Chain A
């Protein structure tokens, strides 16, 4: 079946512009995560959606970052007034999660490489 799809795969933008990154999770997956990975670094948690619950936004680095998940499926990560330090790969992952499914793996997309010039 189809995996997690992210678009665009690459995005180059000028400093100060807004960008939107899209994630299509695997159908039926209730949990959706956004991560950021800077060059040569580990994954940095940004935000987590689970079903209709309020998202966990504890990883968002500033109020320039926001995300929404419409209809429990597609998610969009928005970065306003981009800065050069926002340059990174943004990864989305989805998972089947319920109270008995701590063991479900995260399924990742291949990410959006964002370059802020």
Chain B
């Protein structure tokens, strides 16, 4: 069964600090992994996509990594801002049939001033 597990479930950090969110998956055959950001009261928005051949990708202060061998991904946030407070969701898509991706439960990040 395809599964996506995220950790930690929640995280509180001070503004300006860095943090790293983790995602482990068992989706097969692997196509791609996306990180979404969901602000309170809004729908999720895609931050970055990782395909099989990519190890790291940056989008501003967000850097995603992928280890396809261990089936792990991380999202690193540098110099956090209050606006980074949100839920971060790891979503993995399989190749060859279903276009229904598998969602993790998300990590809730709170950035305090």
A residues within 8 Å of B by Cβ? 4, 31, 33, 41-43, 45, 48, 50, 56, 91, 93, 95, 97, 102-103, 105-106, 108-111
Question: Nearest CB to that of B51 among chain A residues?
Answer: A103
- The number of chain B residues with a CB under 8 A from chain A is 23
Question: Nearest CB to that of A30 among chain B residues?
Answer: B99
Contact flag A108-B44 (CB < 8 Å), given A102-B31, A103-B32 = yes
CB neighbours (8 Å) of B31 from chain A are 102-103
Q: How far is the CB of B73 from chain A (nearest CB, A)?
A: 15
Contact flag A110-B103 (CB < 8 Å), given A103-B31, A103-B49 = no
Interchain CB contact (< 8 A) of A105 among B34, B98, B104: B34
Interchain CB contact (< 8 A) of A91 among B43, B91, B95, B105: B43
Decide if B89 is an interface residue (CB 8 Å cutoff): yes
